Amino acid sequence: MSNILVVGGAGYIGSHMVKHLLAGGHSVVVADNFSTGFRDAIVGGTAVELDIADGAALDALFAAHRIDAVLHFASFIAVGESVTAPGKYYQNNVAATLSLLQAMERAGVKQFIFSSTAAVYGNPRYTPLDEIHPKEPINPYGRTKWMVEQILQDFDTAHGVRSVSLRYFNAAGADPAGELGERHEPETHLIPLILQAASGRRKAITVFGRNYSTPDGTCIRDYIHVNDLASAHALALDYLAAGGYSTAFNLGNGNGFSVQEVISTAKKVTGRDFTVVDAPRREGDPAILIADATRARALLQWQPRYGDLATIISHAWQWELKFFRQT
């Protein structure tokens, strides 16, 4: 059993991580400023309200709790907003993360799991994307994540802080038990947007482009269940605890589903029809983004359990119905 600090543990992926760690017998401290997270998403452990930009608050937290490792989920994630408000993203995603790492250095905490993204790669030169693909992020969001990955390399060299950066592709789904799910405000992810249209919370779902070089003309993405992301983080903790070196892993199923396939599957799962509106392509949307997660499977012994699209959507739909009833 370890003592784990989960930063951003009131958010979508962080809250699922907390539940996974508690089920594994770990002691969990959650740090969140609740700017986008939800207090009722923390299912256990000790919650501390703070901003990781506040070094003194972090020092107090590390003094009060013996922490073996830190998992960092707290970041802004809206790609479009990062383009129009880059300062907000560099301040929160880079500067605040640096504050966290410096507090870890002062406290002598040497293990760090970082929530990174496939956006570090930019437009794919080939697909599936492996970890050695060139890092050419095309927006401030992707650049902030790549900057932090490089900072982590320097903190390993200088201070012996070993880290694993996990580059998510498209996080999706919800807790199979129905206790947790996705509720971003505003929502930008495809599957919850589709399910909001199915439940009646949204008038329609928009498809941006049907003229891509794919079988049905719509973009193809790799969707990874949030519980499978949580299991990968837990395995990354085990990897570092066993003396593993700093590295990065892609997290995806290795299977691509088009926007139209997601819509069609959602209609089958929900048993509901809804309005689909076609719109022009969005600038910067690659035709295909699929992960090569061979390294995570080999080095972490990671095996996704929920790779089936219908299962991912079914769990998200269960959450949408619960959320819809509460509003």
Confidence band (pLDDT; 50, 70, 90) for 122?
A: very high
With 70 as the cut, is the pLDDT of residue 1 above it?
Answer: no
Q: Of 251, 270, 289, which residue is a domain's last?
A: 251
195: which residues sit within 8 A by CB, 6+ positions away?
266, 270, 313, 316, 317, 320
Burial of 177 (0-12, 13-18, 19+ CB in 10 A): exposed
Kindly state whether residues 96 and 156 are assigned to the same domain.
yes
Least confident piece of the model among 181-185, 192-196, 236-240, 289-293: 181-185
Q: Is 141 annotated in the active site?
A: yes
Order of strands, edge to edge, in the sheet holding 220-221?
Answer: 257-258, 220-221, 288-289
- In the structure encoding, which two tokens stand for residue 271, read together? 């048993």
Residue 185 falls inside a structural domain: no
Q: Helices (DSSP H) in the chain: which residue ranges?
A: 12-23, 55-64, 79-84, 86-89, 96-107, 140-159, 190-199, 226-241, 259-270, 294-299, 309-326
Q: Work out the average pLDDT over 177-191.
A: 89
Calculate mean pLDDT across residues 267-287. 92
pLDDT digit string (tens) for 102-114?
999 999 999 999 9
Residues 59 and 114 in one domain: yes
Side chain identity at residue 26, one-letter code: H
Q: Confirm if 201 and 213 have CB atoms less than 8 A apart.
A: no
Q: How many domains does the chain have?
A: 2
> Crossing angle for the helix pair 309-326 and 190-199, nearest 10 degrees?
50
C-alpha to C-alpha distance for 55 and 69, rounded to whole angstroms: 18
pLDDT at 325 over 70: no
pTM here is 0.95
Q: Which residues pair with 29 in a beta bridge?
A: 5, 46
Residues 168 and 278 in one domain: no
> Using CA atoms, how far apart are residues 34 and 70, in angstroms rounded to an integer?
18
Q: What are phi and psi of 58, to 5 degrees?
A: -65, -40
pLDDT at 323 exceeding the cut of 80 = no
141, 168, 239, 306: the catalytic one is 141
pLDDT tops 70 at residue 225: yes
182 lies in some domain: no
Q: Check residue 185 and give its pLDDT.
A: 80
209 and 134, same structural domain? no
Last residue of one domain, picked from the residues 251, 271, 294: 251
For residues 208 and 246, state if they share a domain.
Answer: no
Distance CA 113, CA 120 (A): 16
Decide if 137 contacts 121 (C-beta within 8 A): yes
48 with 152, same domain: the answer is yes
pLDDT at 63: 98
Same domain, 318 and 232: no
Please tell me the predicted confidence (pLDDT) of residue 69. Answer: 98
CB atoms within 10 A of CB 154: 11
Question: Based on the domain organization, do 125 and 166 belong to the same domain?
Answer: yes
Same domain, 215 and 130: no
Domain enclosing residue 95, as ranges:
3-172+223-251
pLDDT the model gives residue 77: 85
- Position 71 in a domain: yes
The verdict on residue 109 lying in a domain is: yes
Which residue in 17, 71, 70, 68 sits closest to 44, CA to CA? 17
Three-state DSSP class for residue 324 = helix
- Same domain as 146, residue 44: yes
Count Cα neighbours of 78 within 13 Å in the Cβ-side half-sphere. 13
Does residue 141 lie within any of the structural domains? yes
Within-domain flag for 68: yes
CATH of the domain at 55: 3.40.50.720
Instruction: Please identify which residue in the block is written with the tokens 């299912």.
Output: 43
The DSSP code for 119 is G
Region 245-265: mean pLDDT is: 97
**Rounded CA separation 26/15 (Å):** 14
In a domain, 268, yes or no: yes
Residue 326 has pLDDT above 60, yes or no: no
For residue 212, the domain's CATH number is 3.90.25.10
pLDDT in tens, 14-57: 999 999 999 999 999 999 999 999 999 999 999 999 999 999 99
**Domain co-membership, 166 together with 259:** no
125 and 246, same structural domain?
Answer: yes
Q: How does pLDDT run across 283-307, given as a tens digit for each residue? A: 778 899 999 999 999 999 999 999 9
Q: Report whether pLDDT(327) > 60.
A: no
Mean pLDDT rounded to a whole number for the chain: 95
